[in-house]
Amino acid sequence: MKVSITNRVRVAALFIFLPLAAQAHKAFFVPSSTVLTESDHEITVDAAVSNDLFYFNHAPLRLDDLQITAPDGSALAPEHVLTGSFRSVFDVPLPQAGTYRVASVSNGVFANWQGADGKPHRWRGSEADLGTEVPGDAVNLRVTQVVNRVETFVTVGKPNRTALAPSGNGLELLPLTHPNDLVVGEAANFKLLLDGKPAAGLDVTIIAGGTRYRDQQNEIRARTNADGQFTITWPQAGLYWLNASLGGGREGPEPDEAPARGQQAAARSPAGEARPRRLSYSATLEVLP
């Protein structure tokens, strides 16, 4: 019993830094509605990390990196924020018509090295703290930049695109079909961007929610074309989880185990540093009947 409690504490501690961790698990938001009228003034959102979509059975998604963008591009603060054992919850006020983006955007570094004691050390944190957290005599120091974006979209009344503007950092989705205009049986077009430029030849995975009640993941796979675009025709209505990653972002091995993948070179930082990057993008999309 004691052992299992210790394990749980350790797992919980790990996931405090989850946005920077190798995502063997899936991080996601679940909004209470994605299509609303102007007589709606608020939604609530769940945020969690788990293997199963969209169930809260593993760890909460920490909200330290939460960014809510209103239809006019301004930042919105969440209300009634709570982080429990399995999920975080917050409300989003909807003061205006248009499209809102709810995102968790983390941008940090992962370092591993051999200490003076000869033992392996690992550290996750911000780029700014790297110099003070990693000892100067670290041997075999490897530093990986980790940029993760998890997001979802909500529209009140007529959709607009101000909040969908890419930031230009890491992997991002540029929805060509509006993300709150997804209908079963219809094709939707998207573009993946790497640091604001088309990400060509990248694999995209899409999984419908409700995995607990079926035996197969039934992954839908797509690959971006030369212009970073891909098309999905939705087989059924429901919530979907869309993911793409570079440099072992989602299911890849830990950096200390990872041989440099071909894609990793492409994912190098724009400054031209040799520092490898691990990038991941995930979105929750709702497809209506």
* CB of 220 or CB of 237, closer to another protein: 237
* CB of 260 or CB of 288, closer to another protein: 288
Pairwise CA distance, residues 175 & 162, whole Å: 12
x/- letters, 161..200, toward another protein (CB under 8 A): --------------------x-x-----------------
Q: How far is the CB of 288 from another protein (least distance, A)?
A: 6
- Our CA angle for 153, 171, 186, nearest 5°, is 50
| Candidate segments 29-37, 53-61, 162-170, 218-226, binder of another protein by CB under 8 A | 29-37
| Per-position DSSP letters for 99-149, written without gaps between them | EEEEEEEEEEEEEEEE-TTS-EEEEEE-GGGHHHHS-TT-EEEEEEEEEEE
- The two tokens of residue 81 are 């924020």
* CB of 38 or CB of 256, closer to another protein: 38
- The two tokens of residue 180 are 């709150």
* CB of 81 or CB of 183, closer to another protein: 183
| Candidate segments 2-10, 17-25, 151-159, 221-229, binder of another protein by CB under 8 A | 151-159
Residues near another protein (CB under 8 A), total: 13
Q: Does 159 bind another protein (CB under 8 A)?
A: yes
Amino acid residing at 233: T
* CB of 160 or CB of 167, closer to another protein: 160
Q: How far is CA 54 from CA 25, 41, 66, 81, 87, in A?
A: 12, 25, 19, 20, 11
Binding site for another protein (CB under 8 A): 35-40, 157-159, 181, 183, 288-289
